[in-house]
Structure 1
Amino acid sequence: MAERVRHQLFLPRPLSDRLAALAAKPGASKSAILADAVTAWLNRRGASELEDRFALWLDRMSNALARIERDGNVALETLAPFIRFELSIQAPLAENDAVGRALARERFEAFVAPVGRAVASGRRTMWPEENAR
């Protein structure tokens, strides 16, 4: 059994009455009830300290994720009408139109290459002022 230290404390009458009623049950004692209550309170304080320690970091992470989600939504909402527009105005190529297909491949490469370079370098096309960070 761990060494026990005697404490003298004062409780308001209603709280003392509730403690006495609870301790009157078989197998319960005031000391055990108070020890459990103080342990639970101290454990909650420890969890609160962890929350206080990581709250700022978690808030920053949450804000960064929100910006990423917003940027992704903006990109998708911008790209979808563009694709819909392009598909609606472009006539399909004939089966034997090798020149048209070659031109389409060149245009596609010209479109994809800068996107690939931007993604690889980490720079952003839409918000260049944020690249300075």
Structure 2
Amino acid sequence: MKTFKTRHQFYLPDDLTEALDKLAGKPGASKTAVLTDALRAWLDRRAGNELDQRFGPRLDRQNRTSDRIETKLNSVSAILDLFVAHQLTITAHQPPFDDVTGQLGMKRYRQFMDQVSRQLQAKRGDETLAPVELKR
């Protein structure tokens, strides 16, 4: 009966020979089976890219983080888009600003930007920006 196996001859260091003898001495084990399993496991590990195994989980985690950031950025962008459209719609039919109104608008704009700046500098661990109350 043909077994479809090829005979190999090679030399092992004494310490590996002792370890192989111990493993092969267990019931149901043989040197051929131990070496076949060890070689197959080694080749499988090497066939899978070692860098993928080492850095794959980290890259996956970074991709998930990037996806969350992208989702949040898309949300902020949509909110800003809605706010600008709303403001432009409200002010579309108002008369042009006079100097006093323009100065008040610039004052409010600076207060708004100061508030945003303070919130960004606070470096909160919050996932979202807290609602801002403008000072009048």
TM range (shorter): 0.5 to 0.7
Q: 1:16-27 residue pairs with structure 2 within 5 A? A: none
* Structure 2 residue 116 is the aligned partner of structure 1 residue 115: yes
Change (3 A) 1:92 1:84: farther
Q: 1:1-133 residue pairs with structure 2 within 5 A? A: 8=8, 45=46, 48-90=49-91, 91-94=94-97, 97-123=98-124, 124=126, 126=128
Structure 2 alignment gaps of length 5 or more = 1-6, 10-41, 131-136
CA displacement, residues 56-112 of structure 1 (integer Å, 9 cap, x when unaligned): 110111111111111100000011011111111122533xx1100011001111221
- AA of the residue aligned to 1:81: L
**Fraction of identical pairs, as percent:** 32
TM-score (norm 1): 0.55
CA distance in 1, matches of 2:108, 2:127: 19
Greater RCO (Cα-Cα under 8 Å, separation 6 or more)? 2
Structure 1 alignment gaps of length 5 or more = 1-6, 10-40, 129-133
- AA of the residue aligned to 2:107: E
Aligned residues: 88
